[in-house]
Chains A and B, each alone.
Chain A
Amino acid sequence: MVVLNENNIDELEMNKEKANIVGLSNEEEVKSVSAKKIISTNKSFIEDFKGVVYKRAIIYKRDPKRFFQQSIVPAILFGVGFQICQAAYQSVTPPMIQLPNRLPLPQKLLFNPSPVVGENSDFAALATGLTEADSFNVNFFSEWTKDMTSNQYADEVSAMSRIKASVTSPDMYGSYLVYEADKVNKQYSFITYVNTTSQDAAGLFPQFMYESILRDALDNQELSFKVKTSPLPHAKIAVFGEESHAVLGIIYCSAVCYGLAISNIVSYLVVEK
């Protein structure tokens, strides 16, 4: 049975005109011819549709790897890729006390043998009072003179660090120039020279000397003043926090996997053409 709608009626009217041309005068005859044509058109659409679907199904049946590669692999990549993105974010080190033995080698230090200002202090105690003194290899700079400027001293530190420095494991991340060591008046001042290839050195080496100064000033070698590094909590970062990391993971994986899936589709269409 054919349901006549507005489109079909239009077609029927057109066919009537054609019928007049070919000599079909009976209206029932015209309706019959038009209905057959409409059925034929619908049948052709369904058959063509089924044909194309069947053809695509046959292609994938013959070559299941292609279906797997075009449809399943992007999905797997998305899942794995997102987990990798998240894993990289979770590999933040736990809070830990920073000690010199965490540095790769016994750390060489250049130390001036006497302060520029102030003599009434057990100056050598500042070197031996450093945290885990065994981890340091203290070298008192024998050519030190009190009229040497801090820049000249820095040149010596730099020259010393170049002598035996290893690219992968530098044994010299910092050194000191003690300017003032006055135990009576509790006045201490020093300059720290830092090898900035270690991001922690700028914080650690001043702290090592602070501890040593406190031990010297308070006559307490057991005193402990440590640095504990603690990663900033993820959720507390104002804008680019944990959520933004998940977003970047989703976006990155979407870019790769959806790009892959869609490029396969366009490739098939171009080959078909």
Chain B
Amino acid sequence: MQVISGMQLTAYWTANFVVDMLKLQPLLWTTILIFNIENLHYEAAWLTYLLLPFAILPFTYVTSFIFTSDNAAQAYTLFGHFVSILTLPLFVYIFRMTPQLEQKGDDLNVIFNMFPSYGIASSVFADALGGNLA
């Protein structure tokens, strides 16, 4: 409808980006605050979280074109991010801890980095438990 009314697409997406980034701020700063309150001395993870909107929002905008139903979009996006934050980094970390699988773990890490949400969990693993890796 906006396109028909003559709206510039650049303005549309930029404005949505700004609003969505503002919406993510309470969650981002809560996360960083908890890092500090709990004395979790993560060297880089906080920065990864802080920069997350610049990666996750364009990714989300692109993936939104896959869906035609908002319910499906919500469910699959929630599930996708749940998997890419919780499961994939754990797999990669366990692979990297096993001498026979560490090369595969490194390869998977490169592939999974295409998912922005994978990056935040991966950075937490690297900061907190990176010392356990050979």
Interface residues of A (CB under 8 A from B): 44-53, 56-57, 67, 70-72, 74-76, 78-79, 82, 86, 239, 243-244, 246-247, 250-252, 254-271, 273
Contact = CB atoms under 8 A, between A and B. Distances in A.
Contacts of B124: 247, 250-251, 254
A48 B8 contact: yes
A78 B24 CA distance: 13
A243 B124 CA distance: 11
B129 interface: yes
B121 A71 contact: no
Nearest to A246: B40
Contacts of B77: 259, 262-263, 266-267
A232 B68 CA distance: 53
Contacts of A254: 31, 85, 120-121, 124
Q: Chain B interface mostly helix, strand, loop or mixed?
A: helix
The 8 A-B residue pairs with the shortest CB-CB distance in the complex, in nearest-first order: A48-B11, A52-B15, A259-B81, A255-B86, A255-B85, A263-B78, A75-B30, A269-B64
Nearest to B61: A269
Interface in B11-63: 11-12, 14-16, 18-20, 23-27, 29-31, 34, 38, 40, 52, 56-57, 60-61, 63
Contact of B11 (A52, A82, A247): A52
B26 A71 contact: yes
A77 to B, nearest CB: 9
Interface in B114-128: 117, 120-121, 124-125, 128
